[in-house]
Amino acid sequence: MTARLVIAIIGLAIGPGLGDGVKEAKKLVSESKDGELEAMKVLDLVTGDLTEEGVDQVIGWVIENGGAEERKRVGEVVSSVPRNDRLMLKYVRVLGFFGEKQQLEAVIGKMDKGSLQQEARFELASLVAMDAERNLTLTDAERAAGNQEAVGLLEKLGKEESLNEQLGKRVEKMLFKVTHLVVGCEAPEIAGVDHDGDKFRLSEYRGKVVLLPFWGFW
């Protein structure tokens, strides 16, 4: 029996099984109720062949619905999926949403420089800034350190010439927030007219306690 014939026979033997992983995974997802299906079980069905058509949809589901262990494992899988930019972007955003800083830093460390890595670094800066703002267990010193870390990440990212315009605006907006709109930062300048019709600037009241009520209609 020639080597070519052996290969052909092997191909016939395993051929019908290829592609079944994605099909079975989608079937499980569609038939399950919220919270009933283990994401790891779904991931196991498709990791045998990451070139299958539709595998990105299944892995995307795992990213969105898995727990911490699934997110850690799926991160190792995503990098092996062909044309994985959209999946990777979804992955880093989910890591940011769940506050998994170390995992996000590890992913960034393995990424090539480029727009996708810049998006991931922005997610990291946003995560650090949000933690400094909302984590009630932090001391004032820890909060200030976290906020300063976010400023450093954003400033470095904002200086890169390859930064696209849309991300550049998001960086600028976030940088303004972490330097002016969190506790302990200098408030931005505000100019207006008081009840007597006299013009004023917020900086004129520096050193005094100022109450600024904001209201509007939406």
Q: Looking at residue 19, what is its pLDDT?
A: 53
pTM of the model: 0.76
Specify whether the CB–CB gap between 109 and 79 falls below 8 A: no
Mean pLDDT of 52-61: 91
Alpha-carbon torsion 158, 162, 168, 174, what sign? negative
Return the residue matching tokens 């727009």: 115
pLDDT > 70? residue 103: yes
Structural tokens at position 157? 């990212």
Structure tokens at 40: 């790891």
- Per-residue pLDDT at 215: 78
Q: pLDDT band at residue 207, thresholds of 50, 70 and 90?
A: confident
**pLDDT for 3:** 40
pLDDT at 7: 33
Share of the chain above pLDDT 70, in %: 90
The per-residue pLDDT for range 34-49, each reduced to its tens digit, is 777 888 889 999 988 8
Contact between 78 and 86 (Cβ < 8 Å): no
Model pLDDT, residue 1: 45
